Structure 1
């Protein structure tokens, strides 16, 4: 069907989350509100080199919890041939900076 061995889409998603947690979110992440989009346009093959690109789409403050902000992020895992292997849009809960300092 795919002409060879490919990675599971969920395995690719777990790699995206690992890269996001270690390189982007850090200690400020308070969780996620969910995904509004998720697709795997191209398969991930043995030997592929993947790069994660993250774009901030929107930000808003929580109406009920003043210490939390909602950040809508678009993620793309792109292979060495500039093919998008994973595309998703999700909303993260992020601790807001203390403005009293």
Structure 2
């Protein structure tokens, strides 16, 4: 299980790949983002996109799923402070394969909870051509290992 100490600044993690189909895009859009260019190939062809595109939120949900499966599901994650930045950089189209990556930008012990640390991640995704399509920054809380918490307290209490 990964704890706060397992996420040093500068670490990067490959999150895997997910290929989106027209059915995936339309199915997500029906429920969560029913814009015509996400739902209807004919309407999408007349849009500025010139064809069906995934909702940016769909792209973000795919990358979040990759992040959870690759890193968070087997971690001592205690939740998130939310997102500091979300960018939809390029339209995602049917057949595109999204490859996610996470990088640790900051990691620090929690200022009031010695058994917890915060980690700021940059999550990014590229399409099958290596073009950036999505970027998000988020800060998560993780339990610290018992040894890590004891070491930090011992260091902090030295004269």
TM-score bin, normalised by smaller chain: over 0.9
Separation of aligned partners in 2, 1:82 and 1:39: 16
Matched, 1:9 2:64: no
- Which of the pair has the greater relative contact order for Cα pairs under 8 Å at 6+ separation? 1
Question: Which of the pair is proportionally richer in strand?
Answer: 1
Matched, 1:78 2:112: no
SS of 1:91's equivalent?
Answer: strand
Separation of aligned partners in 2, 1:28 and 1:3: 44
Equivalent in the alignment of 1:32: 80
Matched, 1:59 2:59: no
Q: How far did 1:83 drift? A: 1.1
Q: How far did 1:81 drift? A: 1.0
What is the TM-score when the length of structure 2 is the normalising length? 0.60
Moved over 3 A (4+): none
Separation of aligned partners in 2, 1:32 and 1:58: 14
What is the TM-score when the length of structure 1 is the normalising length? 0.93
Which one has the largest radius of gyration?
2
Q: How far did 1:78 drift? A: 0.6
Q: How far did 1:49 drift? A: 0.7
Question: Which of the pair is proportionally richer in helix?
Answer: 2
SS of 2:146's equivalent?
Answer: coil
Separation of aligned partners in 2, 1:41 and 1:30: 29
Unaligned regions of 5+ residues in structure 1, if any?
A: none
Unaligned regions of 5+ residues in structure 2, if any?
A: 1-47, 151-159
Equivalent in the alignment of 2:66: 19
Matched, 1:96 2:144: yes
